[in-house]
Amino acid sequence: MKINKENIPATMESPDAIMRAQADFGAMTACYNELPAGTDFTPLLDGLENNSCHCPHWGYIIEGALLVLYDDGKEDLLQEGDVFYLPAGHTAVVQENVKFIDFSPTKEYNEVITHVGKKMAELEGEAS
């Protein structure tokens, strides 16, 4: 089983960012993301348990840097070339424009991404 990143359906796209996700990829969701520096997931996770992501992720940083903040106060700076595992209970802030792939359990991923979509709509409504 394989898929080219360009064939993974876009779930969010703007001029400087793209998030792609393919469900049911070997019982996981495969994601490819390109995000600009300054992207902060924290406000989008507000309202979830501990206001953080409860979905674990396994992945690889292709380029850039991502600061991961865990519920227990620990931090990890993920940089180009890093293979990672993020357990449930985290948020993240893009430190340098980042490209990464990750794999997540589909059920938990869908719960989080549905919540994120609702929060984005709320925040866009407040901005207009």
Which residue numbers in the chain have pLDDT < 70? 127-128
- pLDDT confidence of residue 128: 59
- pLDDT confidence of residue 117: 87
- Going along 42-115, which residue ranges are E strands? 57-70, 75-79, 83-86, 90-105
- pLDDT confidence of residue 62: 98
Tally of CA atoms within 13 A in the half-sphere of 128 that contains its CB: 6
For residue 113, being part of any structural domain is answered with: yes
Sequence-distant (6+) residues with CB within 8 A of 41 are 53, 91, 92, 93, 116
Distance CA 89, CA 70 (A): 6
Q: Which domain holds residue 89?
A: 11-117
For residue 2, being part of any structural domain is answered with: no
For residue 124, being part of any structural domain is answered with: no
For residue 6, being part of any structural domain is answered with: no
- pLDDT confidence of residue 127: 62
- pLDDT confidence of residue 122: 86
For residue 58, being part of any structural domain is answered with: yes
For residue 41, being part of any structural domain is answered with: yes
CA–CA–CA angle 31, 105, 101 (5° rounding): 20
Instruction: Please tell me the total count of domains within the chain.
Output: 1
For residue 19, being part of any structural domain is answered with: yes
For residue 125, being part of any structural domain is answered with: no
- pLDDT confidence of residue 84: 98
CATH of residue 56's domain is 2.60.120.10
